[in-house]
Amino acid sequence: MVKKREIAVSVNGARYAIEVRINDTLLDVLRDGLGLTGTKEGCAAGDCGACTVLLGGKAVNACLVLAVEADGAGVMTVEGLAQGEELDPVQQGFVQEGAVQCGFCTPGMLMSAKGLLRENPCPTETEVRRAIAGNLCRCTGYVRIVRAIMSASASAVSGHDLRGER
């Protein structure tokens, strides 16, 4: 018998008291327990970033966090970005720039972008690239993703040249 624990977590602003197996990952519980299947599993080894969520406001790989470790913490997943019908600026940026192809990497990319912009609203292109270094995309070649994140940032608003910087 696998031991279970009750944990209290806030996910996308909603509070939950849920029973989890001690060896469930946060990713398992988000997807299978709470039905939040936006967060993806690619590698289960920290390499691909498809499982990226914000834990306590910081981008982390949900495949490397035990659900019991999240007890008492706040989690934000891709489902928490939009406010009703209104997309988050990072989502808006991805739509505008056509930064989505198959879409498997997109939730993780969006959360890495969100994590970056929370701390650094006005990043350079180099900083954007560093922020998504742990997110693999097999389709887009990253150029449009970088543009999308730049366009969602305050760098765009302040007239920063999106295409010029190397």
Ligand X SMILES: Cc1cc2nc3c(=O)[nH]c(=O)nc-3n(C[C@H](O)[C@H](O)[C@H](O)COP(=O)(O)OP(=O)(O)OC[C@H]3O[C@@H](n4cnc5c(N)ncnc54)[C@H](O)[C@@H]3O)c2cc1C
| Residue of 4, 6, 46, 69 interacting with ligand X (CB under 6 A) | 46
The angle, 0 to 180 degrees and rounded to 10, between the axes of the packed helices 106-119 and 143-152 is 40
Return the number of the residue (51 or 128) whose C-beta is nearest ligand X: 51
Give the separation between CA 128 and CA 145, rounded to whole angstroms.
9
What the block records as the tokens of 102 is: 């198959």
Return the number of the residue (46 or 98) whose C-beta is nearest ligand X: 46
Least separation, in Å, of the C-beta of 45 and other proteins? 6
Helix (H) / strand (E) element for 143: namely helix 143-152
Residues ≥6 apart with Cβ < 8 Å to 38: 77, 78, 79, 107
| Residue of 9, 29, 60, 70 interacting with other proteins (CB under 8 A) | 60
Give the separation between CA 58 and CA 40, rounded to whole angstroms.
17
Please choose, out of 19-27, 29-37, 74-82, 83-91, the segment that lies near other proteins by the rule CB under 8 A: 19-27
Of 48, 58, 55, 56, the closest CA to residue 25 belongs to 55
Please choose, out of 80-88, 119-127, 133-141, 149-157, the segment that lies near ligand FES by the rule CB under 6 A: 133-141
Return the number of the residue (46 or 57) whose C-beta is nearest ligand X: 46
Residue count of the chain, please give it.
166
Q: Are 134 and 101 in contact (CB under 8 A)?
A: no
* 150 lies in the site for ligand FES, by CB under 6 A: no
* 49 lies in the site for other proteins, by CB under 8 A: yes
| Residue of 90, 137, 148, 150 interacting with ligand FES (CB under 6 A) | 137
Binding site for ligand FES (CB under 6 A): 41-44, 46-51, 61, 63, 100-105, 137-140
Binding site for ligand X (CB under 6 A): 46-47
